[in-house]
Every structure is written in structure tokens, then in C-alpha cells.
Amino acid sequence: MFHKEGFKIIIIALVIVIGLSLLANVFIEHPTIRGGVIISLIILLLLILQFFRNPKRNFALNANQVLSSVDGKVVVIEEVFEKEYFKDKRIQVSVFMSPINVHVTRYPVGGTVTYSKYHPGKYLVAWHPKASEENERTTVVVKNDVIGEVLFRQIAGALAKRIVNYAEEGKEVEQATDSGFIKFGSRVDIFLPLDAKIKVELNQKVKGGISIIAEK
């Protein structure tokens, strides 16, 4: 199963791979070189397919829990000053996504979207300290009746050239449903209340909509 954001790219890639493979079959006489070119094209297509995969998952929804928005590895757990929306201290949990991870972004909590904003910016590597403030990004805040307001930020990386954000202010959203997509590698920052009980550790691998980031 593939995410809708990948349909166009997958079709274009498929046409290009088939076309170049036919050309290689016609114009490259050496069988080893011809075979190498065709295999390389197939590998490229498989990488694109796996990047846009959207596996079915059984979500265990809980209003007392904050779920990971994305698949990846926890790279930051620290108390920071969040200056865009809250303008006070929060606990930041950041998840880095490599190009081989599922890149669907999910709502970490259910509730009402109280803030949604896109910021154009740079394309520093996703783990760069200034990526959260200087890279292309979107910031979304969801107000949950139990936990309060939770902010999560999609951040483009060196390879990510397009962030898709579905969140609309005033919209009621369900935990773990699609909130967007980041194409070709990046990270997501989640900002939590200071009294949230963190349930992950640094370098822990997490799954979007499945892994529990924090509890109230």
C-alpha cells in the first residue's frame, strides 16, 4: 500500500525506468553493462516504492498518551524554550527519519487544531542544531482535552524538498491519522508540557501512531 503523495512520482519513475531499460536493451550491446544498467534502474524504482509505502497498522488510541508522529529514531529529549507559539519552556522530543523510513506524519494526539503554519527556509541536514528554526518547516498545534496543547513540527532536511501539511486551524482531528508527509528524509519535533511523563529514550526506534512518546 502506497501513500497518495507518492502516486505521481511512482508513475513517472515507472515510465522512466521502463523507457530507459528498453533503450539500454537496444543500444547497449555488452550484456554485462546492459544488465547492470537495468538492475540499477530497478533498484532505484524499488527505493522509490519503499519510500512512499504506507503500511496498514492497528492503532491503540488513548487520550492520555502522545504517540510518535513518524517512524524513525529519537535524537533529542530535552527541556527547551519554544518561541514560536508557546513562548515558554517545553519538553522537546525529536525523531529523525532516514530515507528508508515510512514518511507519513501522524497526529500525536486527537483534538482541535489551534495553529497551523508553513515556514519557508533552508535545507540544512535534519540533525543540525539550527534546523528546527532555519529549515523549511510546518508547525501544528493540537489541543487535547487531557494533555493540553501539543505542538509538532515537520522539518525538511538536506534531501527533503517538499513538506505536505493537511492540518487546518479549527479542524477536529483523530489521533494517529495522517497529518502530512515529508518527501525524502527529515525529522519531526514534538513539544510537550513540562509535566508530561516521557516514555522513550535517546536512540530508541519508534513507529508513527504506535510508539508512545509520553503520557499525562
DSSP per position, the chain: -B-GGGHHHHHHHHHHHHHHHHHHHHH---HHHHHHHHHHHHHHHHHHHHHTB---------TTEEE-SSSEEEEEEEEEEETTTT-EEEEEEEEEE-TTS--EEE-SS-EEEEEEEEE--B---TTSTTHHHHBSEEEEEEEETTTEEEEEEEEE-SS--EEEE---TT-EE-TTSEEEEEESSEEEEEEE-TT-EE---TT-EE-TTTSEEEE-
Q: Is the pLDDT of residue 161 over 80?
A: no
Annotated catalytic residue, options 94, 132, 179, 186: 186
Mean pLDDT of the chain: 89
* Contact assessment for residue 108 and residue 66, using Cβ atoms and an 8 Å cutoff: yes
CA angle 14, 35, 44 (to 5 degrees): 35
**So what's the pLDDT on residue 212?**
97
Q: Which residue has the higher pLDDT, 14 or 9?
A: 14
**What is the topology classification, in CATH, of domain 65-215?**
Glucose Permease (Domain IIA) (2.70.70)
Residue 29: burial class (beta carbons within 10 Å; 0-12, 13-18, 19+): exposed
Neighbouring residues of 26: CB distance < 8 A, sequence distance ≥ 6:
none
Q: Which residue has the higher pLDDT, 90 or 7?
A: 90
Residue pLDDT, tens place only, 41-77: 999 898 888 778 888 888 889 999 999 999 999 999 9
194 to 74, 191, 198: CA distances (angstroms): 18, 9, 10
**So what's the pLDDT on residue 1?**
80
Active site residue 211: no
**So what's the pLDDT on residue 98?**
84
Per-residue pLDDT, averaged over 85-103, amounts to 92
Lowest-confidence pick of 19-33, 43-57, 78-92, 120-134? 120-134
Mean pLDDT is highest, among 12-21, 52-61, 117-126, 153-162, for 12-21
